[in-house]
C-alpha cells in the first residue's frame, strides 16, 4: 500500500482538497461555472456510449473537484460554508470516484471537442488526479508502474541495462546501428517501454529511417523513456522528474530536436507540458515521430516504394485531437501511396481506443475498456481496408488486447515500421 493511503481519513481528504484548490486557476474556475448540463459530452464519451451508464458522463467525473471549488474558491464559497449549502467531501465519496477519474477516463478530449461551452473536461480530470494521488487513491497497478518509472526509469522494467541489452541484440539481429550515448547529435530519439519490451521492431524501424535519411541521432541512457506515468497517475513531482530526464539528456548532447516515439501521452507530456515542468522554454524542438517522418517526406529525404493496398489509420487522441498533429501521418501515408480509407470518425473526431490515460495498465478496467473497444472494431470493419496502422504503441497494445479478447481478425501496424519496410534501397 502507498504511504498516502496509510494516513487517517481526515488527512487524506484534506490532502485531496488542498491539491484540488491548488489547481483552481482562473481558467478552471470559469470552466467549473460554465457547464449548462446539456449532455453533449456524454454522447462523445466511449465509456458512456458503450454502457449508457450516466455515471460515465464526463462532466460528472468532476463532482468532487466541483464540490471543492464551491466550498473553497468560488465567489460565494464563504456563504456556502456558512449556510451549509456545500457539504464536505468524504473519503468514501473520493473512493467511489476513483473508478470514474482513472478507470473510466482516458483524457482523450473528445468531450472537450464537443462541449458548446468550451470546457476542457479532459484537462480538469487530469488536474483532479493530482488530488486523488495526494489522498492515496490511485489504482495500485497504475501507481506501481508510475513508481517504477520514477525509481527505475521505466514503468515496464526497461531499465538502462535492459535498454543496452535490447539494442545490442537488435543491432546484431538486424545488422543496423542504433547509436547510444553519443556526446553530440542533432536528434535525441526517445522510446516507450511498450516499444522496447513488446514491439522492439519499432526501434529497428527508427534506425533504418534515420540511416536512410542521413540524420545525426542518438539514444541516451540518461533520458530515453518518453511515457510519463507521473502525469498519468497524478503525481506532479514524478511528472517533472520524468520530463527533466529527457530535457537534460537533450541539452547534454546539444540536440536540436527531440523526437518522441509512437506514444500519445508522451507527446502531450513533453510537447505541451514540458516547458512548464522545466520552468523555461525548451532549447530544442519537440516532434512526434509522425511529424518527423512528415518533415523528412517534405524535404525529399524519404524515398519510398509505393504500397498498393488499402489502409485505415487510427488517430492517437493525444497526438491528433489534443496535440494538433492529425495531418502529419496522412502526409506520410500519401508519400507511401496507400489507398487511405478513413473511418467514419477520424482525425480530430476519432474515437479513443479505450486504453489511454493509463487505463490499459489498470487490470480491473478491462471489462469496461473491452466494451468501449467495440466502437473501434465496428468503424474499422466498415472501411473494408486491408491494413490497419497507427502511431501510438499504447493504442497498439490496446488493439492487440481487444482483438485477442474478441477473436477479431485484425492487427495493427506501427506507422514507422510501415515506412521502414518501404524504403528504397
pLDDT above 70 (res 2): no
Question: Mean of the pLDDT values across residues 371-378?
Answer: 97
Please tell me whether residues 31 and 114 are part of one structural domain: yes
Rounded mean pLDDT, 219-240: 97
**Within 13 Å and on the Cβ side, how many CA atoms surround 180?**
18
pLDDT tier at 189, thresholds 50, 70, 90 = very high
When pLDDT is averaged across residues 222-226 and rounded to a whole number, the result is 98
Task: Let me know whether 282 and 206 are in one domain.
Answer: yes
Stronger pLDDT, 181 or 72, i.e. the higher one: 181
Least Cα distance to 259 among 330, 207, 314 occurs for 207
As a whole number, mean pLDDT of residues 97-119 equals 95
pLDDT of residue 89: 81
Helix (H/G/I), strand (E/B), else coil: 305: coil
- Report DSSP letters for 216-272, one per residue: -EEB-TTS-B---HHHHHT-HHHHHHHHHHHHHHHHHTT-SEEEE-S-HHHHIIIII
Looking at the structure, tell me whether residues 273 and 146 fall in a common domain. yes
CA atoms within 13 A on the CB side of 63: 19
Cell of 246: 529527457
- Tens of pLDDT along 259-301? 999 999 999 999 999 999 999 999 999 999 999 999 999 999 9
Q: Are residues 162 and 262 in the same domain?
A: yes
Of 296, 324, 341, the position where a domain reaches its end is 296
Domain span at residue 89 reads 4-138
104 and 194: one domain?
no
296, 328, 351: which is the final residue of a domain? Answer: 296
Q: How many helices (H) and strands (E) does the chain have?
A: 22, 8
| pLDDT surpassing 80 at residue 85 | no
* pLDDT for residue 1: 41
Number of compact structural domains in the chain: 3
For 391-414, write each residue's pLDDT tens digit: 999 999 999 999 999 999 999 999
**Last residue of a domain, which of 296, 331, 349?**
296
Same domain, 9 and 47: yes
Regarding whether 103 and 222 lie in a shared domain, the answer is no
Shared domain for 165 and 248, answered yes or no, is yes
Upper half-sphere CA count for residue 77 (Cβ side, 13 Å): 14
Can you tell me the mean pLDDT for 248-254? Answer: 98
pLDDT for 48 equals 97
Based on the fold, state whether residues 289 and 314 are members of the same structural domain: no
For 293-322, how does the pLDDT look when each residue is reduced to its tens digit (9 = 90+)? 999 999 999 999 999 999 999 999 999 999
Q: How confident is the model at residue 3 (pLDDT cuts 50, 70, 90)?
A: low
Amino acid at each position: 500500500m502507498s504511504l498516502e493511503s496509510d494516513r487517517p481519513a481526515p488527512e487524506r481528504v484534506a490532502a485531496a482538497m488542498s491539491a484540488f484548490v491548488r489547481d483552481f486557476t482562473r481558467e478552471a474556475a470559469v470552466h467549473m461555472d460554465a457547464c449548462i448540463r446539456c449532455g453533449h459530452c456524454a454522447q462523445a464519451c466511449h465509456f458512456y456510449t458503450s454502457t449508457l451508464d450516466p455515471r460515465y458522463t464526463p462532466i460528472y467525473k468532476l463532482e468532487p473537484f466541483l464540490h471543492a471549488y464551491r466550498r473553497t474558491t468560488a465567489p460565494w464559497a464563504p456563504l456556502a460554508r456558512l449556510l451549509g449549502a456545500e457539504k464536505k467531501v468524504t473519503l468514501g465519496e473520493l473512493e467511489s470516484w476513483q473508478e470514474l477519474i482513472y478507470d473510466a477516463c482516458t483524457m482523450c478530449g473528445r468531450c472537450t471537442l464537443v462541449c458548446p461551452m468550451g470546457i476542457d473536461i479532459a484537462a480538469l480530470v487530469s488536474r483532479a488526479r493530482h488530488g486523488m494521488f495526494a489522498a492515496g487513491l490511485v489504482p495500485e497497478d497504475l501507481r506501481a508502474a508510475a513508481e517504477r518509472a520514477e525509481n527505475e526509469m521505466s514503468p515496464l522494467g526497461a531499465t538502462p541495462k535492459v535498454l543496452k541489452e535490447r539494442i545490442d541484440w537488435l543491432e546484431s539481429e538486424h545488422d543496423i546501428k542504433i547509436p547510444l550515448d553519443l556526446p553530440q547529435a542533432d536528434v535525441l530519439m526517445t522510446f516507450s517501454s511498450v516499444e522496447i519490451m513488446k514491439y522492439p521492431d519499432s526501434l529497428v524501424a527508427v534506425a533504418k529511417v534515420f540511416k536512410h535519411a542521413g540524420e545525426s541521432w542518438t539514444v541516451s541512457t540518461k533520458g530515453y523513456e518518453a511515457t510519463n506515468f507521473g502525469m498519468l497517475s497524478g503525481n506532479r513531482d514524478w511528472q517533472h522528474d520524468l520530463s527533466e530526464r529527457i530535457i537534460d539528456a537533450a541539452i547534454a548532447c546539444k540536440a536540436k530536436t527531440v523526437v518522441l516515439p509512437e506514444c500519445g501521452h508522451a507527446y502531450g507530456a513533453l510537447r505541451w507540458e514540458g516547458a512548464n515542468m522545466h520552468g523555461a522554454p525548451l532549447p530544442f524542438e519537440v516532434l512526434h515521430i509522425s511529424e518527423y517522418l512528415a518533415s523528412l517526406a517534405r524535404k525529399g529525404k524519404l524515398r519510398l516504394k509505393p504500397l498498393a493496398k488499402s489502409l485505415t489509420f487510427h488517430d492517437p487522441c493525444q497526438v491528433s485531437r489534443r496535440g494538433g498533429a492529425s495531418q502529419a501521418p496522412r502526409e506520410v501515408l500519401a508519400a507511401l501511396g496507400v489507398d487511405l480509407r478513413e473511418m467514419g470518425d477520424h482525425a480530430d473526431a476519432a474515437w479513443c481506443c479505450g486504453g489511454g490515460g493509463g487505463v490499459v495498465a489498470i487490470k480491473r478496467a478491462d471489462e469496461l475498456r473491452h466494451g468501449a473497444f467495440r466502437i473501434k472494431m465496428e468503424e474499422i470493419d466498415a472501411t473494408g481496408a486491408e491494413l490497419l496502422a497507427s502511431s501510438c504503441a499504447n493504442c497498439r497494445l490496446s488493439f492487440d488486447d481487444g482483438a485477442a479478447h474478441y477473436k477479431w481478425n485484425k492487427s495493427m501496424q506501427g506507422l514507422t515500421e510501415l515506412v521502414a519496410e518501404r524504403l528504397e534501397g
